[in-house]
Amino acid sequence: MNRTLPLWPVFVALILVGCAGDEKSWHGKDISGLMPELEFQLQGTNGQPVTAADSKGTIRLLYFGFTSCPDVCPTTLTDLRRSVKQLPEQYRDDVTTLFVSVDPRRDTPERLASYVNFFGERIVGLTSEEPALRKLAKRYRTTFGYDEPDASGNYNVSHSSAVYVFDRSGSARLLLRPGLSPEQISEDLAQLARESG
Amino acid sequence: MPISSYLLPYDFSPLTLLSYMLVLGFYGVALLKMPEKDRPGSGRIITFTLGVMLCYGVMQTRFDYYSQYMFFVHRGQHLILHHLGPILIALSNPLPVMRFWHQKMSRSLRYWLQPVGWIYRVLQQPFIASFLFVGLIYFWLWPPIHFDAMLSRQLYWIMNWSMLLDGLLFWWLIFDPRSPAITNALGYGKRILLLALVAIPQMILGAWIVFSRGMVYDVYEVCGRAWPMPPETDQLLGGLLTWIPPAMMSIIGILIVLRRAMHEDGKFLRRRSLAGGNA
pLDDT digits (tens, 9 = 90+) for A20-71: 445 678 999 999 999 999 999 999 999 899 999 999 999 999 999 999 988 8
Which of A34, A141, A158 is the closest to B225 by Cβ? A158
Confidence of residue B279 (pLDDT cuts 50, 70, 90): very low
Residues A142, B150: C-beta atoms closer than 8 Å: no
Task: Please tell me the least confidently modeled range out of A177-181, B159-163, B208-212, B245-249.
Answer: A177-181
Establish if A84 belongs to a structural domain.
yes
Establish if A51 belongs to a structural domain.
yes
Establish if B97 belongs to a structural domain.
yes
pLDDT in tens, B195-241: 999 999 999 999 999 999 888 998 888 887 888 888 899 999 999 99
Instruction: Report the CATH number that the domain containing residue A40 is assigned in CATH.
Output: 3.40.30.10
Residues A162, B223: C-beta atoms closer than 8 Å: yes
Whether the pLDDT of residue B270 is over 60: the answer is no
Domain that holds residue A56: 25-146+154-196
pLDDT at position A13, please?
Answer: 57
CA distance B110 to B117: 10
Contacts 24+ apart (CB under 8 A), A188-192: A188/A26, A188/A27, A188/A28, A189/A59, A189/A83, A189/A84, A189/A87, A189/A91, A189/A95, A189/A165, A190/A87, A190/A88, A190/A91, A191/A24, A191/A26, A192/A59, A192/A165, A192/A167
Domain that holds residue B213: 3-266
Residues of chain A with C-beta less than 8 angstroms from the C-beta of B147? 29
Establish if A11 belongs to a structural domain.
no
Establish if B271 belongs to a structural domain.
no
Residues A138, B150: C-beta atoms closer than 8 Å: no
Establish if A71 belongs to a structural domain.
yes
Interchain contact B5–A (C-beta under 8 A): no
For A32, A34, A141, the CA distances from B148, given in Å and listed in that order, are 11, 7, 11
Establish if A16 belongs to a structural domain.
no
Establish if A12 belongs to a structural domain.
no
Establish if B44 belongs to a structural domain.
yes
Whether the pLDDT of residue A1 is over 60: the answer is no
- Mean pLDDT, chain B, rounded, equals 92
Confidence of residue A133 (pLDDT cuts 50, 70, 90): very high
pLDDT at position B4, please?
Answer: 82
The number of domains in chain B is 1
Whether the pLDDT of residue A11 is over 60: the answer is no
Establish if B272 belongs to a structural domain.
no
Interchain contact B151–A (C-beta under 8 A): yes
Establish if A165 belongs to a structural domain.
yes
Interchain contact B228–A (C-beta under 8 A): yes
Establish if B16 belongs to a structural domain.
yes
Establish if B66 belongs to a structural domain.
yes
pLDDT at position A21, please?
Answer: 46
Residues of chain A with C-beta less than 8 angstroms from the C-beta of B218? 177
Higher pLDDT residue, B270 or A44?
Answer: A44
Whether the pLDDT of residue B83 is over 80: the answer is yes
For A86, A128, B27, B75, B104, the CA distances from A63, given in Å and listed in that order, are 20, 14, 48, 28, 57
The number of domains in chain A is 1
Residues on A contacting B at a C-beta cutoff of 8 Å: 29, 31, 33-35, 64, 137-138, 141-147, 156-162, 175, 177-178
CA distance B233 to B53: 29
Establish if A183 belongs to a structural domain.
yes
pLDDT in tens, A141-181: 999 988 888 888 889 888 888 999 999 999 999 999 988 99
Residues of chain B with C-beta less than 8 angstroms from the C-beta of A35? 151-152
Q: Distance from A100 to chain B by nearest Cα, in Å?
A: 14
